[in-house]
Structure 1
Amino acid sequence: MSANRPADAGRQMNPDRQGGHTVTGNRPVPEQSGLERPVLDVRNLIKTYGAGETAVHALRGVSLTVQRGDYVAIMGSSGSGKSTLMNILGCLDIPTSGRYLLDGVDVSRLSDRQLALVRNRRIGFVFQSFNLIPRTSALSNVELPLAYAGLKSAERRRRARAALALVGLADRENHEPNQLSGGQQQRVAVARALVTAPALVLADEPTGNLDTQSTADVLGVLDRLNRSGRTIVLITHEPDVAEHARRLIRLVDGRIVQDARQAPLPQPRHLAQAVDA
């Protein structure tokens, strides 16, 4: 990843200060308190692959802010730049230029180790493919991010059971993936995304492999999670899926061409409860 880091990211900095936040050990710490900052603050993101006449301009100056508790759908056809944007928002790729603050942290200035911590603790990923470990129980699959974070077994189990209960699968904790329907497997994946209490749930085509009923089940879970104060960014090409979001952003050729509010943000008291949870 460091080979592709923007040119200014390698400048020498005070070891205790990076990009507007404090670094304690290997963990980035934002300066603003939870409700004062947006979850996402993206400023003039540009992503170019290659150079010269063969250069591909995947993102052309994308800027957006996502407030805590919002539910944003990002739509676009193939080649629109939505997958590139998703990878950058998920700290899986870096922009050619521009700035990205995640929960108050300027991620462009983090080391690879710090980025791994951000992905583990601040972002909950839900992908089109469920990415569950076969021949492993739903409970153990949900526990996995907590194991990476170094939590003790009893605490992992407690949190994983609570996450499965949130998605309506408390009675399926001992089932392996091949014993679950597609919709149930995706709900296990959602529980895994929630188990670290991330600042952001990032869902990339989460219903792409599901039938109509399973799609409704998964979207119902996401709706309930957002109503409880979770911040969700969903990548989709399906209008009926995007209708569930509070805000719709449409990309064309690497640019935002539509940014429409479909429903109001939740009240601050609900957000405070979500931050405290």
Structure 2
Amino acid sequence: MTEMTQARPPVLDIRNVAKVYGEGETAVHALRGVSLRVERGDYVAIMGTSGSGKSTLMNIIGCLDVPSSGGYLLDGTNVGVLDDARLAIVRNRKIGFVFQSFNLIPRMSALANVELPLAYGGVKAAERRRRALAALDEVGLAERVAHQPNELSGGQQQRVALARALVTVPTLLLADEPTGALDSRSSDDVMRIFDGLSASGRTIVLITHEDDVAEHAKRVVRLVDGQVVEDVRRAPVGGLPPRMAEVGA
């Protein structure tokens, strides 16, 4: 008898999620019944203007906030039933965050910054160092491991942040306006890394209001007034291999 194998669940399965802040006449409906399914290896840009609900959706996807109603499964796990401690573990293991403002620790080296999620996860020092060095090499910063953030350009700092997001080998790479603080050259460098990571099979969700960032994705989801008004697949700009040793500063 042939053994049946069960298909893996989608990375994101968001079902009719609503988010309301406040009560009564002052209530703000940030999300109004959003449903979104993201399969493994997908490369999605979530777009919207200020007030569209994209930041609220990002916080829910990243397990930083909870919906007022609806359901959310992350890699098959119903995060709505987890307590804070278990939610923190899931967030640390399954999601790699990349923020607009980098969020690096100022007086720590690039290597130490990248090691942080592994330290929180209880990984031993030698293994932390090995994995952090590999992640920094993957984003083209093998020669900058001892540099502190103030010794790096904005583009290099964002690549350190990207290495930190990758070092735990997360199920989902979640990036909030990843080029928002960068000049055009550094933005191009960072987006080429995302493209290469997508080409290698990573699951990526970008939150952005910039068309030139969104055009790198395979799929664009557009929010207006807390609702999905567009969900289309497109041919992405394309990418380079994930190891970006030649990218500029």
Q: Structure 1 stretches of 5 or more lacking a match? A: 1-31, 265-277
Normalising by structure 1, we get a TM-score of: 0.82
Please give the secondary structure, in 2, of the residue aligned with 1:130: coil
**CA offset digits 1:176-233 (Å, max 9, x no partner):** 1011100000000000000000000000001000000000010011111111111000
State the number of aligned residues: 232
**CA offset digits 1:78-108 (Å, max 9, x no partner):** 0000000000000000000000000110000
Aligned to 2:75: 103
Q: For the residues of structure 2 that align with 1:171 and 1:223, how far apart are their CA atoms?
A: 22
Aligned to 2:157: 185
Deviation of the 1:49 alpha carbon: 0.6
Aligned to 1:263: 235
Aligned to 1:54: 26
Aligned to 2:51: 79
Letter in 2 for 1:233: V
Letter in 2 for 1:223: D
Letter in 2 for 1:215: S
Q: For the residues of structure 2 that align with 1:134 and 1:57, how far apart are their CA atoms?
A: 37
**CA offset digits 1:10-51 (Å, max 9, x no partner):** xxxxxxxxxxxxxxxxxxxxxx96x62110000000000111
Aligned to 1:273: none
Identity among equivalent pairs (%): 72
Deviation of the 1:263 alpha carbon: 3.4
Q: For the residues of structure 1 that align with 2:62 and 2:101, how far apart are their CA atoms?
A: 16
RMSD of aligned alpha carbons: 1.1
Moved over 3 A (4+): none
Q: For the residues of structure 1 that align with 2:104 and 2:69, how far apart are their CA atoms?
A: 34
Q: For the residues of structure 2 that align with 1:142 and 1:173, how far apart are their CA atoms?
A: 9
Q: For the residues of structure 2 that align with 1:144 and 1:36, how far apart are their CA atoms?
A: 29
